[in-house]
Copies of this chain bind each other. A is one copy, B any other.
Amino acid sequence: MNFTDILGFIAGVCVMTSVIPQILKVWRTKKVKDISLLTFSVLTFGVALWVVYGILKNDLPIVITNSISLFLNLIMVYFIIYYEKE
C-alpha cells in the first residue's frame, strides 16, 4: 500500500462513516425537522447504484464501502421518515 492508496482508504472511511454522528444526533434528540429527506434519499439511491456498479465491475472495495454506506444511509432515511411523523 503506497501513500496514494492510504489516502484513498482514509478518504473512503471518512465519507463512509460521516453519516454516523448525524444518526446518533437524531437518535438522541428524535428531531429531524431541519434535515432534508430528499438529500438523504438521493444520496442513498446514488450509493445503491455504486454497489451495483461495484458488483458489475467485480470491484470488491467499491462493493464493501458502499454497502456499509448504503446500510448507514438507509437508517438515516428511515429515521427521517419515522421522526417526521411524530
Contact = CB atoms under 8 A, between A and B. Distances in A.
Interface of A: 3-4, 7-8, 10-22, 24-26, 29, 31-36, 38-40, 42-43, 45-47, 49-50, 52-53, 56-57
* Most chain B CB atoms below 10 A, which of A10, A36, A57: A36
A46 B18 contact: yes
B25 A34 contact: yes
Main secondary structure of the interface of A (DSSP, over half): helix
B49 A22 contact: no
A31 to B, nearest CB: 5
Contacts of A3: 56
A43 B18 CA distance: 5
